[in-house]
Amino acid sequence: MINVQQLHKKFGSHEVLSDISTSVATGEVVSIIGPSGSGKSTFLRCLNLLEIPTSGTIEINGTSLTASKKSIHKIRQEIGMVFQHFHLFPHLTVLENLTYAPIKAKGIKKEEADLKARVLLKRVGLSEKETAYPNSLSGGQKQRVAIARALAMEPELMLFDEPTSALDPEMVKEVLDVMKDLAKSGMTMVVVTHEMGFAREVADRVLFLDHGALVEEGKPNEFFNDPKTARAKDFLDKVL
């Protein structure tokens, strides 16, 4: 589904991503881990062109993001993104948060969008909150709304950038459980996370970034039990 070749990203003269090549298969769950500042968010943001690569190619479902400027809008609709800080629309109810983009960007009728949104709210355990406003919700509830909102666009791919990092510890599980269900349902997911438990249990593959380089990638078991590089060993010693 995703094919990245020789991706480089510079901010000014600062090379933040250097020569990253990897791919993600349909239905695969890939976790990106690595130290703060290693380029994880920048990599994720390149995948939906929130950042423009300096060089290299990115294909999503066979369509080049980097070559054709025309289809970016269309491709972005197929990619859901969930951020650390939720980014809900504060002036809209929970239900309206879910229906806004389907109605505006896809032209779906309100009644149909409402029906779909209710199914998604049920799925994330928030049926009772449809008329609530975001500021009345807990962090875990906000993030579950954010995931449901992304799913309302029926994306083929979901990107998560540290979705649990801003949450109080007791709310991490409810969000990870929703993500686990999504993974089980066959969604293709790329997840930047500090939750090593999630990476270990749920991911099919782990990418380890350090100083903008893809230093190591492998199956979670191999990576966590037997890292190949000194940099990965050092990182795991600090976080596990």
How many residues bind Mg ion (CB under 5 A)? The answer is 2
* Chain residue whose CB lies nearest Mg ion: 41
Binding partner selected for residue 190 from ligand ADP, Mg ion, none, CB under the kind-specific 5 to 8 Å limit: none
Enter the DSSP assignment of 76: H
- Residue found by looking up tokens 């020569």 in the block: 19
Among 4, 24, 33, 41, binds ligand ADP (CB under 6 A): 41
- What is the C-alpha to C-alpha distance for residues 171 and 159, in angstroms, rounded to an integer? 20
Q: In what helix (H) or strand (E) does residue 218 lie, and over which residues does it extend?
A: strand 213-218
Residues 10-39, interacting with Mg ion (CB under 5 A): none
Is residue 41 at the binding interface for Mg ion, with CB under 5 A as the rule?
Answer: yes
Shortest Cβ distance from residue 40 to Mg ion (Å)? 5
On whether the CB atoms of residues 213 and 19 are closer than 8 A, the answer is yes
36 binds, among ligand ADP, Mg ion, none (CB under 5 to 8 A by kind): ligand ADP
| Phi, psi of 201, deg, nearest 5 | -85, -40
The reply on whether position 37 binds ligand ADP by CB under 6 A is: yes
Residue 58 backbone dihedrals phi, psi, to 5 degrees: -130, 125
Rule CB under 6 A: is residue 193 a binding residue for ligand ADP? no
Residues that bind Mg ion (CB under 5 A): 40-41
